[in-house]
Amino acid sequence: MADQDPQLTPGTLQAILLERTANARRCGTLELLPSTTEVIEQDGVPFQVRVLETSGTEELDKAARSHPDPFLHDADLLLAPLSATHIALINKSSAVEHHLLIATRSFEDQRCQLTQKDCEALLIGLTEIDALCFYNAGHEAGANQPHKQLHLLPLDATITPLPIEPLLRFAQTDRMIVPRLPFRHAYAAMDHDWTNPEKDSGASLHASYRKVLHAAGLSVDATSGSHGLTAPYNLLMTRKWMLVVPRAHACFQNILVDALGFVGMFLVKDRQQLATLRRFGPMSALQHVTGHALS
């Protein structure tokens, strides 16, 4: 895709997402991973656990084996070029409707720190759609392919309210922590003016991201535009807040945990994995994958 491709017309991404998703479903290009949802409560959090049906498990395993690159998606899953460096496209392997990706046009490693260009593209996405953004930085953080991409899930009735949000009311913004989250993390409130997208640039978001990364105990490159690698972590962000969680392990009891676990959303392959989560508790699983002892 050439850098001179026309970029997104402001205010159109959500409509394009709805139209392309419906069309891809009709054409058979896109099929949601079939699942049912269970709730497991621990530490005051009503964790949402999606349990894949057999066909969904087969599709997920196939995707994991093939390590799909964003550029290998079917052309009709492309939504729009966001900038000279990033595109938006529909996520083909998801159990949630309207799940989109923001991917770099040229290859960048998924373990890299976000750059200002990444943040500029993310700002476009979040300005267009009120969404949960998440980033799995590396295999140990739940990434299943090496090409850098951020995920956006629209904050609609499907996933809101986010299960973790009752705990965020206790955030201590001066200390950049949420005391009731029992694992290492860093938290910050967002002060971006979403009604005036021209007021702030990707530079301010990138500076906030680097500050939270540092507060979480992760290395931050000296140059703000660096593509340097860092230790594995998950980034979660909405229009209201940002959360970074360092990672130690990809899985708990063979259950893959990506960034969504830290907002209270799990995906399990079968009822056996569901029973494992019920036995130990989802919060205990999060403690394990962040390197903390099970409570």
Sign of the CA dihedral with 270 first, then 272, 273, and 275 last? positive
Q: What is the pLDDT of residues 261-279, one digit of tens each?
A: 999 999 999 999 999 999 9
Q: Write out the residue range of the structural domain in which residue 176 sits.
A: 13-289
Q: What is the pLDDT of residues 89-98, one digit of tens each?
A: 999 888 888 9
Residue 3 placed within a domain: no
Does residue 80 or residue 67 have the better pLDDT?
80
Residue 294 placed within a domain: no
Residue 133 placed within a domain: yes
Helix, strand, or coil (residue 131): strand
Residue 5 placed within a domain: no
Residue 7 placed within a domain: no
- Please classify residue 121 by burial: count the beta carbons closer than 10 Å to its beta carbon, then call 0-12 exposed, 13-18 middle and 19+ buried: buried
CATH number of the domain that residue 176 is part of: 3.30.428.70
Residue 154 placed within a domain: yes
Number of domains in the chain: 1
Residue 44 placed within a domain: yes
Runs of H (alpha helix) within 72-225: 116-128, 165-168, 202-215
Q: What is the pLDDT of residues 241-267, one digit of tens each?
A: 999 999 999 999 999 999 999 999 999
CA distance 277 to 49: 9
Residue 277 placed within a domain: yes
3-state secondary structure 133-151: EEEEECHHHCCCCCECEEE
pTM for this prediction: 0.90
